[in-house]
Amino acid sequence: MKLEGEGKLLRIFLGEGDRLEGKPLYEVIVAKAREQGLAGATVLRGIEGFGVLSRIHTAKILRLSEDLSIVVELVDTEEKVKAFMRRLTTCFSGVVPAA
């Protein structure tokens, strides 16, 4: 889908191990974005970072993490992004966070 006019960016941060119904959460989000006809989606995998517990996650070979940061970026018009956010809130009730 081609985006005409000014677009908005929705950025979602999650862990690589986060799942919904056994599937990686980032895959579920991208599939739902495509179903809703959003203009674009990109999934980025972090090489290092930390979250709420301040535990460092890294892709360095000696400290290989199993739960690196994932960023999902979605773009479309403000109206479509807001509608998509509302749809996601109903889906997140079944999310299983990584241990």
**75 - beta bridge partners?**
9, 40
**Residue 59: per-residue pLDDT:** 66
Sheet holding 23-24, edge to edge: 23-24, 19-20, 95-96
For domain 8-92, the CATH class is alpha beta
* Residues 48-58, mean pLDDT to the nearest whole number: 72
- Cβ atoms of 70 and 33 within 8 Å: the answer is no
Half-sphere exposure of 80 (CA within 13 A, CB side): 21
Domain ranges of the chain: 8-92
pLDDT-derived band at 64, boundaries 50, 70, 90: low
- pLDDT tens for 6-43 read 899 999 998 888 888 899 999 999 999 999 999 999 99
The angle subtended at Cα 93 by Cα 79 and Cα 96, nearest 5°, is 120
